[in-house]
Amino acid sequence: MNDDLTQAEKSPKEGVWSKFKNQSFLWFATIMTGILTTFSQYIADSIKSGLDKSAQRIQYFNAIAGDLSKYNFDAETVYNAYFEAEANKGIGVDYIKCLVDDYNKGIENLRSKEYLYRAQIGRGWGKKFIFFKTSKTMNFDLLYLNIKQLDSTIHLLNPIALSIIKEVTKTYQLTHSDSILLSKNLSIIKWNLDLTNNATKRLLKDL
């Protein structure tokens, strides 16, 4: 009889303990499921964010690289045209008009997008690629400084360009003053052109 009583006393306690264990397991499973779901969502969001940023970088890079390459090509073409003009003592009027027009459009495009590209590089790659400082990394500010210096030196030849634009014949013959102006400035333009080309290559390589 005492055994039956003891068993009867144990049964409610065991029932409560069993229920508690089951409930605790349910709580634990629910919590772990929530944690794993949140963590999985965090990983998925991180991957999506990384993919979005990668796609954004590609878009930025293509736009910046395209405009820089076009400008460098136009600047080099103008330099080569004036270099040949110095050697031949003349140049085709329509030819130089076309080159100068393309060059002006290219530099205007770059100058008008300076702060746009500055913001995009900062957003896509970080501030170290923007600010002018002494480092192994080429930066946007230094590149644009080179571009502005190159543009300034090319504009030293504006007196010749204006004379060519006014020319009514198909070929413009260089004057003595034109030849002096070219001999003084072509080497400066070439030096700045090389600086700009190298700076462009370094920045695009580092991005």
Mean pLDDT computed over 122-139: 74
> Which residues share a beta bridge with 92?
171
- Average model confidence (pLDDT) for the chain? 82
> In the block, which residue shows the tokens 């395209």?
66
Mean pLDDT computed over 159-163: 92
Q: What CATH number did the domain enclosing 153 receive? A: 1.20.120
Cα(153)–Cα(98) distance, integer angstroms:
19
In a domain? residue 6? no
Cα(128)–Cα(146) distance, integer angstroms:
18
> In the block, which residue shows the tokens 């779901």?
37
Selection from 148, 147, 167, 160 nearest residue 186 by Cα: 160
* pLDDT > 70: percent of the chain: 71
In a domain? residue 23? no
Provide the pLDDT confidence category of residue 62 given band limits of 50, 70 and 90. Answer: very high
Task: Give the residue, 126 or 154, on which the prediction is more confident.
Answer: 154
For 26-39, the DSSP string reads HHHHHHHHHHHHHH
* Residue-range definition of the domain harbouring residue 67: 58-206
In a domain? residue 26? no
In a domain? residue 146? yes
Mean pLDDT computed over 57-70: 93
User: In this predicted structure, what is the pLDDT of residue 88?
Assistant: 92
What's CA 169's distance to the chain center, in Å? Answer: 44
In a domain? residue 180? yes
Selection from 195, 56, 44, 203 nearest residue 123 by Cα: 56
In a domain? residue 24? no
In a domain? residue 14? no
Q: Is 96 helix (H, G, I), strand (E, B) or coil?
A: helix
Split into its structural domains, the chain has a count of 1
In a domain? residue 110? yes
Residue 201 scores a pLDDT above 60 = yes
Residue 166's CB is within 10 A of a number of other CB atoms, namely 9
